[in-house]
């Protein structure tokens, strides 16, 4: 097990030990005090695995938080997400041969709180159980190849990388286009490319051919061991039928090693006229869930407000710089955004308020809703009549809320009415904690709800059919929820349906206590994009530049992956020398002939490629 003080297991581990099996409960403690963080750590286990039966096996990771599992370099489990609970994740079935050794690699990350990791397997002859220590052996062979084994669409200038076997003193590299020749090669064979010293687990193969399959093998060598060399697996990859500008797969969270995405795609940090931000502020820096292909894409946040007119990120190219090579004539990139916000808050007639919202829910450890609020200092209350609530979901929620912050995971108390689940008392006692709730059935709009905060910090929910006779929600009790003196108080709506816009109407709204006068409203936890123009710009080595704008004005608000193809001639027509392109930039806002309205959001970019012209269909 290799332990890292980062969410992604990259760079050098801070601690290494041999774990006999993957069946560990860390609780809320550090895996190794004074070496590994209590929170915000990751682990990579590497080894070899033998099965007792020749049959199809299914593996499970039982982890808190995220996990990934590779068997024989095949990604079997991909649950690299914060779950804040123990989850069994079923992997893709894989056929194993009894007695044969397979490489195994499992990764875990812990964001905060409790953490544990367990690896289980089952087959026709093997009941579901923890994989025992007898099935494991140390990782004596090279593993974790890059490019990935059997991968397609690899760049034409790859650098081969791998993890060293634990006993290796050096690595013998074999490479070629004939699978049998590479598999059987010796040091006398032309496929032998030389030895690499320990600590240098990489080999630059130079420029390769277009759309060709290559094979490689790494033998681990240690002359002090009678078992040396440890012959490696035969790996392969196929170069693309395109020139790869960037697929974002090579970036890591190792900013000390200059491998972070924002160290290559330069954004608006420190530039007052550029509202762009590449990646996330904390690891993982690249997006690892919303991807077009592979395991990463580039998140590009834009903020064209307060005098900023465009937001962009720029990459300086090493290869490809000749954008006429191999007859390419088109630039292709894939993009995805978020739909625009549907949240709103209006008054009319006087004293009647209408909120619209989408949102997945108010509940769990994080919320998505529209909030119309004022500020409250100290004790106080809010009362409202929920006149109506559109049934976008049986448990769509409209009501009155007091909230510690405007963060999605904030502590809060909520008196809510639903279309079909009655009236409820809800809340969250601490940021990021799970919500509590209790409901009283057979109550529908119109109906009154009230939420009170006393001087001791206890919150009480009550409801009424007429606004004068009040009673608590069944099974609810005053609940202490720690908050600062200054809080947010107001009206909340979640549609419980991200595809449909919900609506609720409120009247007879009364707020008591030391409260501000003006209403403010915004989405909480709902990501939405403004429809800003999307553009791509290129600059040649002489400094000439050209900009092409996407013809779809709503491109940034499409929440499905969409390919954008640009004819390279559009850059050449603006005076750019396509044979020596120095930089490419992707941005949103006013640049070239684009006029931006001024807004913000986040788009995701993936798989930037240069393509040959599409063949004309045959008659």
Residue 64: predicted pLDDT = 87
CATH number for the domain that contains residue 24: 3.90.182.10
* pLDDT grade for 283, boundaries at 50, 70 and 90: confident
Please tell me what DSSP assigns to residue 182.
H
Residue 81: predicted pLDDT = 79
The Cα–Cα gap between 46 and 104 comes to 6
383 and 405 belong to one structural domain? yes
Does the pLDDT at position 332 exceed 90? Answer: yes
Answer whether residue 452 is part of any domain.
Answer: yes
**Average pLDDT over all residues of the chain:** 94
Answer whether residue 65 is part of any domain.
Answer: yes
Quick check: 24 and 117 in contact, CB under 8 A?
yes
Does the pLDDT at position 615 exceed 90? Answer: no
Residue 311: predicted pLDDT = 96
34 and 116 belong to one structural domain? yes
Answer whether residue 248 is part of any domain.
Answer: no
End-to-end CA gap in the chain: 60
- Enter the tokens of residue 349: 């007639």
CATH number for the domain that contains residue 585: 2.60.120.260
Give tens-digit pLDDT for 518-558: 999 999 999 999 999 999 999 999 999 999 999 999 999 99
* pLDDT grade for 466, boundaries at 50, 70 and 90: very high
The CA-CA-CA angle for residues 344, 347, 353, to 5°, reads: 75
- Residue 505 belongs to what domain range? 344-524
7 and 109 belong to one structural domain? yes
Answer whether residue 617 is part of any domain.
Answer: no
Give tens-digit pLDDT for 419-444: 999 999 999 999 988 899 999 999 99
* pLDDT grade for 616, boundaries at 50, 70 and 90: low
167 and 296 belong to one structural domain? no
* pLDDT grade for 289, boundaries at 50, 70 and 90: confident
Residue 617: predicted pLDDT = 63
Give tens-digit pLDDT for 570-602: 999 999 999 999 999 999 998 865 666 688 999
Residue 113: predicted pLDDT = 84
Answer whether residue 233 is part of any domain.
Answer: yes
Q: Which residues contact 102 (CB under 8 A, 6 or more apart)?
A: 48, 49, 50, 51, 71, 72, 96
352 and 481 belong to one structural domain? yes
Q: Domain boundary residue among 496, 524, 552?
A: 524
Give tens-digit pLDDT for 5-38: 988 887 789 999 999 999 999 998 999 999 999 8
Give tens-digit pLDDT for 472-508: 999 999 999 999 999 999 999 999 998 899 999 999 9
- Enter the tokens of residue 451: 């939420």
Give tens-digit pLDDT for 26-82: 998 999 999 999 888 999 999 999 999 999 999 999 998 889 999 998 999 998 877
Answer whether residue 250 is part of any domain.
Answer: no
The Cα–Cα gap between 109 and 112 comes to 9
Quick check: 493 and 449 in contact, CB under 8 A?
no
Answer whether residue 394 is part of any domain.
Answer: yes
The Cα–Cα gap between 423 and 385 comes to 12
Residue 162: predicted pLDDT = 95
Q: Which residues contact 536 (CB under 8 A, 6 or more apart)?
A: 331, 333, 547, 548, 564, 566, 584, 585, 586, 587
295 and 404 belong to one structural domain? no
364 and 469 belong to one structural domain? yes
H or E stretch at 507? strand 502-515
CATH number for the domain that contains residue 182: 2.60.40.10
Number of domains forming the structure of the chain: 4
Q: Which residues contact 371 (CB under 8 A, 6 or more apart)?
A: 401, 403, 406, 488, 490, 491, 492, 521, 522, 523, 524
Query: Which of 25, 48, 36, 28 minimizes the C-alpha distance to 2?
Result: 36
349 and 277 belong to one structural domain? no
Centre a 10 Å sphere on the Cβ of residue 99 and count the other Cβ atoms it contains: 10
Query: Which of 366, 351, 368 minimizes the C-alpha distance to 493?
Result: 368
Give tens-digit pLDDT for 135-194: 999 999 999 899 989 999 999 999 999 999 999 999 999 999 999 999 999 999 999 999
Lowest mean pLDDT among 201-210, 304-313, 599-608: 304-313
190 and 49 belong to one structural domain? no
The SS3 of residue 158 is coil
Question: Mean pLDDT across the stretch 313-330?
Answer: 97
* pLDDT grade for 212, boundaries at 50, 70 and 90: very high
Give tens-digit pLDDT for 371-387: 999 999 999 999 999 99
Q: Which residues contact 70 (CB under 8 A, 6 or more apart)?
A: 76, 103, 104, 105, 106, 144
Q: Domain boundary residue among 490, 524, 558?
A: 524
Q: What pairing do the DSSP bridges indicate for beta strands 486-494 and 369-389?
A: antiparallel
282 and 396 belong to one structural domain? no
Question: Mean pLDDT across the stretch 326-347?
Answer: 96
Give tens-digit pLDDT for 442-460: 999 999 999 999 999 999 9
35 and 120 belong to one structural domain? yes
499 and 363 belong to one structural domain? yes
Answer whether residue 293 is part of any domain.
Answer: yes
Residue 160: predicted pLDDT = 97
Q: Domain boundary residue among 121, 137, 153?
A: 137
Query: Which of 138, 148, 149, 157 minimizes the C-alpha distance to 220?
Result: 138
């Amino acid at each position: 097990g290799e332990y890292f003080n980062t969410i992604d297991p990259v760079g050098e581990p801070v601690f290494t030990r041999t774990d006999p099996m993957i069946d560990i409960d860390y609780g809320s403690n550090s895996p190794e005090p004074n070496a590994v963080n209590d929170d915000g750590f990751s682990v990579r286990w590497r080894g070899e695995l033998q099965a007792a039966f020749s049959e199809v096996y299914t593996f499970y990771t039982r982890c808190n938080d995220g996990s990934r599992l590779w068997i024989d370099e095949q990604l079997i489990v991909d649950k690299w997400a914060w779950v804040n609970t123990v989850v069994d994740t079923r992997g893709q079935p894989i056929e194993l041969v009894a007695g044969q050794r397979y490489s195994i690699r499992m990764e875990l990350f812990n964001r905060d709180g409790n953490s544990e990791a367990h690896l289980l397997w089952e087959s026709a002859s093997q009941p579901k159980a923890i994989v025992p220590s007898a099935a494991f052996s140390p990782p004596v062979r090279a593993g974790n190849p890059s490019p990935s084994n059997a991968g397609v669409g690899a760049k034409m200038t790859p650098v081969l990388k791998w993890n060293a076997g634990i006993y290796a003193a050096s690595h013998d590299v074999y490479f070629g286009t004939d699978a049998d020749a590479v598999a059987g090669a010796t040091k006398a064979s032309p496929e032998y490319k030389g030895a690499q010293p320990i600590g240098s687990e990489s080999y630059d193969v130079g420029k390769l051919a277009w759309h060709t399959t290559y094979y490689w093998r790494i033998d681990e060598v240690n002359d002090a061991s009678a078992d040396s060399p440890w012959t490696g697996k035969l790996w392969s990859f196929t170069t693309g039928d395109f020139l790869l500008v960037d697929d974002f797969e090579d970036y890591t969270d190792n900013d000390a090693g200059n491998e972070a995405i924002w160290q290559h795609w330069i954004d608006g940090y420190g530039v007052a006229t550029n509202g762009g931000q590449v990646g996330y502020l904390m690891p993982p820096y690249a997006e690892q869930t919303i991807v077009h292909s592979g395991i990463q894409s580039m998140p590009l946040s834009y903020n064209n407000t307060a005098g900023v007119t465009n937001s962009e990120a720029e990459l300086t190219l090493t290869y490809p710089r000749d954008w006429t090579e191999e007859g390419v004539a088109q630039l292709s990139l894939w993009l995805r955004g978020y739909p625009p916000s549907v949240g709103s808050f209006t008054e009319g007639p006087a004293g009647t308020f209408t909120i619209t919202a989408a949102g997945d829910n108010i509940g769990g450890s994080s919320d998505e809703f529209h909030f119309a609020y004022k500020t409250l200092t100290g004790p106080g209350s809010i009362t409202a009549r929920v006149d109506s609530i559109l049934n976008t979901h049986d448990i769509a929620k409209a009501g009155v809320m007091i909230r510690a912050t405007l963060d999605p995971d904030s502590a809060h108390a909520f008196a809510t009415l639903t279309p079909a689940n009655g009236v409820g008392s809800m809340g969250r006692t601490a940021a990021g904690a799970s919500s509590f709730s209790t409901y009283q059935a057979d109550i529908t709009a119109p109906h009154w709800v009230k939420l009170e905060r006393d001087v001791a910090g206890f919150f009480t929910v009550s409801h009424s059919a007429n606004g004068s006779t009040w009673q608590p929600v069944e099974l609810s009790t005053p609940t202490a929820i720690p908050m600062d003196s200054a809080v947010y108080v107001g009206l909340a709506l979640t549609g419980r349906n991200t595809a449909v816009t919900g609506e609720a109407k409120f009247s007879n709204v009364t707020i008591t206590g030391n409260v501000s006068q003006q209403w403010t409203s915004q989405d909480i936890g709902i990501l939405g994009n403004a429809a800003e123009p999307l553009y791509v710009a290129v600059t040649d080595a002489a400094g000439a530049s050209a900009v092409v704008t996407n013809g779809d004005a709503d491109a940034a608000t499409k929440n499905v992956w969409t390919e954008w193809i640009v004819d390279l001639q559009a850059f050449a027509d603006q005076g750019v020398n396509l044979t020596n392109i120095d930089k490419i930039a992707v941005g949103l806002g006013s640049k070239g002939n684009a006029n931006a309205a001024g807004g913000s959001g986040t788009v995701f970019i993936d798989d930037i490629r240069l393509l040959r012209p599409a063949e004309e269909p045959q008659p």
